[in-house]
Amino acid sequence: MQLFTGISELVVNDLDRLGELDVIADAALLVDDGRVIWSGPSAQADTALAAHEDQIGTAGLNDDDIANGEVTSANELGGLETIDLGGKAVIPGFVDSHNHLIFAGDRSEEFAARMAGQKYSAGGIATTVAATRAATETELEANLVHLLDQAKRQGTTTFEIKSGYGLTVPDEIQALDIINRHTEESTLIAAHVVPPEFKDEPERYVDLVIDEIIPAAEGKAKWIDVFCETGAFTEDQTRRIIEAGKAVGMKPRLHANQLTEGGALKLGAELGCVSVDHATFASDEDLEILAEAGTVVTLLPSIEFSTRQPYPDARRYVDAGVSLAIASDCNPGSGFSNSMPFVIAIGVRDMHFTVEQAVWAATAGGANALQRTDVGHLGAGARADLAILDAPSYRHLAYRPGVQLVERVYSGGELIVDNRSRD
């Protein structure tokens, strides 16, 4: 059992209160067996401990129990470990509900060309497809682990990961097998782009996805996704692929309206997609339909940053009653950042999120986009996934962009990152 004390601000969250943070000042957090037992004002910590006296072997603590202001031996306190954070803020671990981490190759040259004025059109995906097909399973998994480790050091504890750079039956299944070794949030997006060998026969590739790849992926992918966009897949093709995925038990989500204001957002709501992602271009009617359907809209700030597309105004979405999430969309082409603090800062600066809305969207919002109730918050029963900030307030995530503010990260109550360490 662990008792975290000395918390200047504890972001608890409520998954149902869209965009509103629940923040407790001068707080404490009690964890047992990887789950949150209690969170609240530090003045009530002794009462919470007493309620669990049979588990921890003591009804209270005093200053003499705390060794050097840090961690008291669990043995000395009958199995209780006390961690005094000394006035630091604590937030739920980030929930990154959209990223593409199974790939090989480098597209920094493409990024430089965009910065020099070349327009982004999603055509570079084919470059990554070629490199991914040429890579070994060991190479692909090593790159994934490297990127996951980077993201964990930035405070991310829950990851959705997509396939989509193999685009053959064996390559897509290999990607899913790797993904499933690292997260339960696996997504099949064989309909990411039409591969070069089917360039002149896109319908044949759609048939391959429906007739061969989806059946082979049954039981391996929790989610089915399609890039519904000019230059990728049409609305009719998207409908057929999503329905085929749903028929074998995959839950639907969608890449929608990234480059154009088409009908993909309405289609996502109609198909019962849990989340529609990008949504850079959205009409008032789109937002009304999405709000009514209860579809989560996942905005991806680093993509607009990296492609110089216009930033959507999050205030429009909030005012329309849409449930928002923000995610990294880390991928080698249109946005190669896996830092959730970075996307929070962009979301606040350029998408007009309030700081509170952005932090909520990166935690509770991401949980909603994955239909998870055990992550994204620190209420009783939640997984003890938390990020300790080297700052007195969560507001510093947007206030101090580019600064490593995540000091420690716990996943299921286990310390997995300690950025205080120095060689």
- Region 57-74: mean pLDDT is 44
Same domain flag for 74 and 110? no
**Do 102 and 147 share a domain, yes or no?**
yes
Q: Which residues are annotated as a binding site for N-formimidoyl-L-glutamate?
A: 165, 331, 333
- pLDDT, position 61: 45
pLDDT at 121: 63
The predicted structure's pLDDT at residue 122: 59
pLDDT at 58 over 80: no
Q: Is residue 76's pLDDT more than 50?
A: no
Banded model confidence at residue 103, pLDDT cuts 50, 70, 90: very high
Assigned token pair, 45 = 């910590």
**Residue 53 pLDDT more than 70?**
no
The amino acid sitting at 71 is: V
Task: Report whether pLDDT(144) > 50.
Answer: yes
What is the per-residue pLDDT across 379-423, written as a single tens digit (0 to 9) for each?
Answer: 999 999 999 999 999 999 999 999 999 999 999 999 999 999 754
pLDDT at position 64? 47
Whether residue 84 is found in the same domain as residue 144: no
State the pLDDT confidence band at 118, using cuts at 50, 70 and 90: confident
Asked, for residue 210, whether it belongs to a domain, the answer is yes
pLDDT at 84: 97
Residue 153: domain span: 94-369
- Evaluate whether residue 399 is within a structural domain: yes
Which positions make up the binding site for Zn(2+)? Answer: 98, 100, 255, 329
- Specify the CATH number for the domain of residue 388: 2.30.40.10
Axis-axis angle for helices 137-153, 169-180 (nearest 10): 40
Q: Who's near 67: CB < 8 A, 6+ residues apart? A: 73
Token look-up 């003045």 returns 43
Boundary residue ending a domain (328, 351, 369) = 369
Amino acid at 140: L
Residue 3: its pLDDT value, please? 96
pLDDT of residue 353: 97
Rounded Cα–Cα distance for residues 388 and 39 (Å): 15
411 found inside a domain: yes
Give 46 or 219, the one with higher predicted confidence. Answer: 219
Closest CA to 29 of 51, 47, 45, 50: 45
Distance (Å, whole) CA 72 – CA 152: 26
Residue 74 is predicted with a pLDDT of: 42
Over 60: is that where the pLDDT of 55 sits? no
pLDDT band at 131 (very low <50, low <70, confident <90, very high): very high
Confidence of residue 178 (pLDDT cuts 50, 70, 90): very high
Residue set of the binding site: 98, 100, 107, 165, 192, 255, 258, 329, 331, 333-334
Which amino acid belongs to residue 123?
G
Cα(238)–Cα(232) distance, rounded to whole angstroms? 10
Phi-psi group of 33: left, alpha or beta (phi > 0 → left; psi -120 to 50 → alpha; rest → beta):
left
What's the rounded mean pLDDT across residues 344-351? 98
Co-location of 365 and 400 in the same domain:
no
Question: What pLDDT band is residue 174 in, cutting at 50, 70 and 90?
Answer: very high
Strands 275-278 and 251-256: parallel
Q: Are residues 126 and 201 in the same domain?
A: yes
Eight-state DSSP code of residue 373: S
* Averaged pLDDT, 67-87: 66
The verdict on 213 and 86 lying in the same domain is no
Backbone φ and ψ for 286, nearest 5 degrees, come out as -55, -50
Number of domains in the chain: 2
> Do 298 and 390 lie in a common domain?
no
Per-residue pLDDT reduced to its tens digit, 263-313: 999 999 999 999 999 999 999 999 999 999 999 999 999 999 999 999 999
Annotated binding-site residues for 4-imidazolone-5-propanoate read 107, 165, 192, 258, 334
Q: In this structure, are 201 and 243 located in the same domain?
A: yes
Q: If you average pLDDT over residues 85-106, what whole number do you get?
A: 97
Q: Whole-angstrom Cα distance, residue 157 to residue 129?
A: 27
In a domain, 71, yes or no: yes
Residue 345 sits in the same domain as residue 390: no
The residue from 331, 349, 369 where one domain ends is 369
First to last CA, the chain: 30
pLDDT on residue 419: 95
Which among 165, 211, 220, 222 is positioned nearest to 191, based on CA atoms?
165
Q: Which residues are annotated as a binding site for Fe(3+)?
A: 98, 100, 255, 329
Mean pLDDT of 196-224: 97
Q: Is 50 a domain residue?
A: yes
Mean of all residue pLDDT scores within the chain: 92
> Same domain for 309 and 220?
yes
Could you tell me the pTM of the whole model?
0.93
Tokens of 201: 């026969």
Q: Domain boundary at 352, 369, 386, which?
A: 369
Look at residue 423 and tell me if it is in a domain: no
pLDDT greater than 70 at residue 75: no
Domain contains 141: yes
Determine the pLDDT at residue 421.
72
**Cα 106 to Cα 253: distance, rounded to the nearest angstrom:** 27
Check residue 123 and give its pLDDT: 63
Q: Report if residue 264 sits inside a domain.
A: yes
* Residues 284 and 410 placed together within one structural domain of the fold: no
* Residues 264 and 217 occupy one common structural domain: yes
